[in-house]
Chains A and B, each alone.
Chain A
């Protein structure tokens, strides 16, 4: 039996039911905590329903080697995570790790990419992992359908992908089975830290909990200062196009194009600063479609069945924020730009630490304090 906890009905309230909140709630409940997950309704800004589904390692962490190590750890733990989810829920999130490619369309781009990878791996305290810079012929052996404009690319055997919509659904089923109290239509308006616990004013009434985790995506920026935290995130729009389902022909994910487990081809990787506007920009869609066809000309034969735009949750340096409040202990924030990739870490590593009561020193680099260093003129 769970003991009634200090300051509230729940040991932990996770605010936000996207990929970050759901993975944390799953891990917290597995660690024996009594958990509520508070979420908005069906209509919400929610990149967890609009992303590209890569579980991606290569190239991440230039400027913060700890992030490279954190990402690699999640990639290493992802397969076991997918197994746990399958055993628990009977659902397969289709995680595959065949290695991923970043194809390049000019010699300058390929050289710049090779330099970036080298600088990344030359950082002090960098966790090293294998990658290759490939010329056109080597690349073509692995990706036989590349077009004449592709000059080469980089490859990393750790890169993979999953079915990310099914991941969100599976996590929600999993937390249900673990007894998490999922509360949609409970948008948190206000949080008060009182008597060693937390009181949340929500659209569905007051909720109390001993600890809270802010995993509200874009809204964490508004909520964080209520409990002495900071989450300076901004929306960055990305477009995605999906084609009709075809027999498997692309056996590795790339940053720009991947074929899903069910056969549709996803085309992505646009970056726009457009505030909270999620309207589809035909100009952007056609630009990413044209680029994809330069990579793989046979995509030109396929019919498009859907396209959309979604908003990345981005910190100023693109790296995650994980932190416990100093003024309101028990309040944590978790936000990141790669919630699919990091789902294994959130569920298997971060959640047990929060359940046990603290993040420890290894998380200091992820504190939002790094954005508050006075800038030299």
Chain B
């Protein structure tokens, strides 16, 4: 389970900005400035997708845009790198099951 470092938690609480979004349709909240991936981890979602061919579970690894293991569906578009997108108010984040669907 991931937790924010205490000193960062305090600083963020002082700034007081939270963002409401959804994870697979469930309401969730994050700190302003979080990446989608950080927001998922802070909400206890560690496996954000299953792989396109074998269906194995995957979670974020590098947090800096190189490993592509953080892929999720954001506002209907699949295969987005969650660690490279800032979470925004009202954003619909979905964990991604297997391959991206191009038809939607």
Chain A residues in contact with chain B, CB under 8 A? 244-247, 249, 262-263, 298-299, 301-303
A244 nearest CB across to chain B (Å):
5
Determine if B100 and A247 form an interchain contact, defined as CB atoms under 8 angstroms apart: yes
Q: Tell me whether B5 is interfacial, beta carbon within 8 Å.
A: no
User: Which residues of B have CB within 8 Å of A244?
Assistant: 79, 100
Determine if A245 and B52 form an interchain contact, defined as CB atoms under 8 angstroms apart: yes
Q: Tell me whether B9 is interfacial, beta carbon within 8 Å.
A: no
**Chain B interface, DSSP helix/strand/loop, else mixed:** loop
Determine if B100 and A246 form an interchain contact, defined as CB atoms under 8 angstroms apart: yes
**Chain A interface, DSSP helix/strand/loop, else mixed:** loop
Chain B residues in contact with chain A, CB under 8 A? 52-53, 77-79, 98-103
A-B contact pairs, 14 of them (CB 8 A): A244-B100, A245-B99, A246-B100, A246-B101, A246-B102, A247-B98, A247-B100, A247-B103, A249-B102, A249-B103, A262-B52, A263-B52, A302-B102, A303-B79
What number of A-B contacts does a CB cutoff of 8 Å give?
A: 31
Closest to A244 in B: B79
User: Which residues of B have CB within 8 Å of A247?
Assistant: 98-103
Answer whether A298 and B102 are a contact pair too, CB < 8 Å, given A244-B79, A303-B79: yes
A259 nearest CB across to chain B (Å):
10
User: Which residues of A have CB within 8 Å of B101?
Assistant: 246-247
**CB within 8 A of A301: which of B53, B99, B102?**
B102
* 10 further interface pairs, Cβ-Cβ under 8 Å (given A246-B102, A303-B79): A245-B53, A245-B99, A246-B78, A246-B100, A247-B98, A247-B99, A247-B101, A247-B102, A262-B52, A299-B102
Closest to B71 in A: A244
Assembly CA distance A245 to B54 (angstroms): 12
User: Which residues of B have CB within 8 Å of A302?
Assistant: 102
